Structure 1
């Protein structure tokens, strides 16, 4: 059976422990007590707190016979869409035209990637109609995100 490790001490073996705070002050009279520190035998008193001028946070209520005036506060709501990425899937976005939170409607249009894919297939010998396949594949087309309420364009994702 294993034995426990020896206990650690805060002093080195063979050396006496360090003196306490009071012993260190008594042994070194070269360091006088701080001028603002109270003497150990005197009773301490709390100095008075300086008075400050009173300034109310809110205006006082109107007196009898005076009309009540309330400050007019206008609030403007701002919608911030951090990191909104328009890709090939519908996203939830805020439409600035109709001011609604909507899930976008997608519309696919042939873009540069579809045309380059068609040209590449034609070069490799797919001349008899097979080169037109990229125009039928939605994952090769550009995506336009529309608002379903007002049909305004919210974003475009170009493949190339």
Structure 2
């Protein structure tokens, strides 16, 4: 048993009671379909030009300053940053300029245990080196991070991270 396909209800051509039907598009726009509009604005708009802008007096824009009050400028702190182009901090001492003591120095190295040392220790422990052998990476300086210090004032000049 086949059911008939539902169809859309018929279109109603009704208007509200007491109101006339709305005007068509051509009636509203006033366009003539037989005369195409050109790319130029109508002649009456071209001749009129833009409306004049209102003018303001100079005194209206800026309030008058009070006489006798001292004018102070804000204090600005200047921090000098020294950039040393081409200087790469590795695992050997380098010649660098210290911004603290203003000296050209050869850096002093300090080794510290970084993530590579700890991961190496954990890796050895996983593979069965649990009786102290997993602590060997803490004795190898090539696995540690390197901090470069100034030998005169001990300020940090750079850091070389292994991982």
Q: What SS is found at the alignment partner of 2:122? A: helix
Shift of 1:83: 1.0
Q: What SS is found at the alignment partner of 1:134? A: helix
Shift of 1:105: 0.1
Q: Give the corresponding residue for 2:161.
A: 158
Question: Are residues 128 and 82 of structure 1, via their aligned partners in 2, closer, same or farther at CA, if it must alter by over 3 Å?
Answer: same
Q: What are the superposed Cα offsets for residues 127-147 of structure 1, whole Å, 9 maximum, x if unpaired? A: 000000000000000000000
Q: Unpaired segments of 5 or more residues in structure 1?
A: 1-77
In the alignment, the residues of structure 2 paired with residue 121 and residue 89 of structure 1 have an alpha-carbon distance, to the nearest angstrom, of 27
Map 1:31-46 onto structure 2 (within 5 A): none
Map 1:45-124 onto structure 2 (within 5 A): 81-124=84-127
Question: Are residues 79 and 129 of structure 1, via their aligned partners in 2, closer, same or farther at CA, if it must alter by over 3 Å?
Answer: closer
Paired residues, number: 83
Q: Residue 129 of structure 1: which of 124, 129, 132 is its match?
A: 132
Is 1:148 the counterpart of 2:121 in the alignment? no
In the alignment, the residues of structure 2 paired with residue 153 and residue 80 of structure 1 have an alpha-carbon distance, to the nearest angstrom, of 14
- Kindly indicate which of the two structures has a greater share of residues assigned to helix: 2
Shift of 1:80: 5.3
Shift of 1:81: 2.2
In the alignment, the residues of structure 1 paired with residue 116 and residue 91 of structure 2 have an alpha-carbon distance, to the nearest angstrom, of 14
RMSD between aligned alpha carbons? 1.4
Q: What are the superposed Cα offsets for residues 85-137 of structure 1, whole Å, 9 maximum, x if unpaired? A: 00100000000000000000000000000000000000000000000000000
In the alignment, the residues of structure 1 paired with residue 96 and residue 160 of structure 2 have an alpha-carbon distance, to the nearest angstrom, of 15
